[in-house]
Amino acid sequence: MLNRQAFQIPFEFDAQALREELSSIPREQVKETYNPYVDAGDLEYLDLIEPILQQDGSIKFIPNQNLKGRPHLLEVLKHFPSEKKTYRMHTLNPGGEIREHRDNQRRYEDGDIRVHIALQSAAGMETYLNGEKIEIKEGSCWYLDLTLPHRMVNHSAVPRIHLIIDCYRNAWWDALFSEHAPEEQAPFANMSLEELESLQFQLSGFEGSAELTMLQEVALEIAARKAG
């Protein structure tokens, strides 16, 4: 899938090295997620950055003690040169499910970019966005528009481990989106009404199904322009 709803960000990470660093962090740092979409015990997280109040009253997130001496985890954070508000491990335990829901404003267009990096993947781990199954391979990095309905389920025998990073949109992200997930151009956007009517006339001389489909699309576009 390559569009602004979901696309693979072209960075690969060393999942095993990152898992090893995470497993060396004391277990008591892991907390349970409580929300209406998960059952108790299914979803856990481990924060890797923490908020610090700045002199100007703003909040900046910086690495917490869990990142000390863990260069691979720190490197991931530096890989995305924008301000962040979340950097955490997310673990969906075997048999666990995050039921379908939408997250308000969590998408690029609203300035809020959530990155998923899969650190432990196995058959039976499923991610659905807008009803479509997305294959997230171990070590891969994804952007998902989470204002769309999404759900995750883990039918495997091992935890589904992701790193999650919430970034603020900036020029670096704009460049990445325009290169790897260009905005879809509306069909016929560059044509004038006269050109569309001329195309409609030409297409009406054909009988193929592709021409017929296009003819219907052109007729709809002409009707929409005349209406509005």
Stretch that binds Fe ion, among 15-23, 57-65, 98-106, 170-178 (CB under 5 A): 98-106
Nearer to Fe ion, 146 or 181 (CB): 146
Should residue 14 be labelled a site residue for Fe ion when binding is judged by CB under 5 A?
no
Nearer to Fe ion, 55 or 104 (CB): 104
Q: With 0-12 CB in 10 A as exposed, 13-18 as middle and 19+ as buried, what is 106? A: middle
Nearest distance from C-beta of residue 114 to Fe ion, angstroms: 8
Nearer to Fe ion, 117 or 146 (CB): 146
Should residue 166 be labelled a site residue for Fe ion when binding is judged by CB under 5 A?
no
118 close to 164: Cβ distance less than 8 angstroms:
no
Structure tokens at 162: 């992701």
Nearest distance from C-beta of residue 112 to Fe ion, angstroms: 12
Nearest distance from C-beta of residue 101 to Fe ion, angstroms: 6
CA distance 196 to 179: 30
CA distance 62 to 64: 6
Nearest distance from C-beta of residue 152 to Fe ion, angstroms: 8
Nearest distance from C-beta of residue 209 to Fe ion, angstroms: 41
Nearer to Fe ion, 128 or 191 (CB): 128
CA distance 11 to 140: 7
Q: What character string, x for contact with Fe ion (CB under 5 A) and - otherwise, covers 128-157?
A: ------------------x-----------
CA distance 226 to 203: 20
Which distant-in-sequence residues (6+ apart) come within 8 Å of 64 by Cβ?
47, 48, 49, 50
Nearest distance from C-beta of residue 150 to Fe ion, angstroms: 6
Stretch that binds Fe ion, among 13-21, 95-103, 161-169, 203-211 (CB under 5 A): 95-103
Nearest distance from C-beta of residue 34 to Fe ion, angstroms: 14
| HSE value, Cβ hemisphere, 13 Å, CA-based, for 2 | 8
CA distance 197 to 62: 58
Should residue 103 be labelled a site residue for Fe ion when binding is judged by CB under 5 A?
yes
Nearer to Fe ion, 103 or 211 (CB): 103
Stretch that binds Fe ion, among 53-61, 103-111, 114-122, 175-183 (CB under 5 A): 103-111
Interface positions with Fe ion (CB under 5 A): 103, 146
